[in-house]
Each structure stands twice: as structure tokens, then as C-alpha cells.
């Protein structure tokens, strides 16, 4: 008997194995996304919230300190609070934009598979 593998059946087996591997990879990726979606959303709320709140609060506290130690006709508290809010909004925008680009990249990679 000839024990050489049939090249045609070997090619079919390789194609089948690649197909099964690709399906399993997509299934595992979808499964991971499903469990992370809720928690990643909660984490994003936290990141956005703290990225706005922390600089705003820091600006207000620094402004109160400046007003207390260096009195002037203008309110440093209000000015630095607004500056902190602007900085916080810029940081939040950065985080949301980064997440949006990551989602778009993942969707584009999923379409190519």
C-alpha cells in the first residue's frame, strides 16, 4: 500500500482547520467583548468623571489659596476653577476619542477576518 498522503485531502484538511480556527478566534473575541462591555463602560464613566472633576477641584482649591494669601480685586478661585474645568474637559475628550478610535479599529479588524 502507498502511505504517501494525498495532497488534495491534505489541502482540504488544512483549509478546514484554518476555517475552524478563525471561527473559534472570533467566538472567543466576541465572548471577551461581551463580558468586558459593561465593566469597560463603567470604567469609562469613572475615567471621564474623574478627569473632569479632579482638575476642576484642584483649580478651585488653588484659587481659594491664592485669594486667601494674595487678595486682589479679581477672583482667582473662579478663574482657576474655569481653567481646571477646561483642562478636565480636554482630558475627558482625549480619553473618549482614544476609546472611540479603539472601537473603530476593532470593528474594522473584525470585518477583515
- pLDDT for res 80: 96
Concatenated DSSP letters for 57-69? HHHHHHHHHHHHH
The most confident of 13-27, 50-64, 89-103, by mean pLDDT? 50-64
Q: Where are the domains of the chain?
A: 7-112
Q: Residues 91, 47: contact at Cβ < 8 Å? A: no
**Between residues 110 and 102, which one has the greater pLDDT?**
102
Q: What is the pLDDT of residues 33-65, one digit of tens each?
A: 555 567 777 777 788 888 999 999 999 999 999
**Between residues 78 and 15, which one has the greater pLDDT?**
78
In degrees rounded to 5, what are phi and psi of residue 111? -70, -30
Percent of the chain with pLDDT over 90: 35
C-alpha cell at 61: 482649591
- pLDDT for res 31: 64
**Between residues 105 and 63, which one has the greater pLDDT?**
63
- pLDDT for res 34: 54
- pLDDT for res 65: 96
Amino acid at each position: 500500500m502507498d502511505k504517501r498522503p494525498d495532497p488534495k485531502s491534505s489541502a482540504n484538511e488544512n483549509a478546514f482547520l484554518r476555517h475552524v480556527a478563525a471561527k473559534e478566534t472570533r467566538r472567543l473575541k466576541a465572548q471577551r467583548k461581551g463580558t468586558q462591555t459593561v465593566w469597560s463602560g463603567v470604567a469609562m464613566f469613572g475615567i471621564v468623571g474623574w478627569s473632569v472633576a479632579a482638575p476642576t477641584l484642584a483649580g478651585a482649591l488653588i484659587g481659594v489659596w491664592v485669594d486667601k494669601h494674595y487678595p486682589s480685586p479679581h477672583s482667582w478661585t473662579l478663574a482657576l476653577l474655569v481653567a481646571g474645568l477646561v483642562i478636565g474637559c480636554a482630558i475627558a475628550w482625549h480619553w473618549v476619542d482614544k476609546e472611540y478610535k479603539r472601537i473603530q479599529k476593532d470593528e474594522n479588524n473584525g470585518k477583515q477576518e
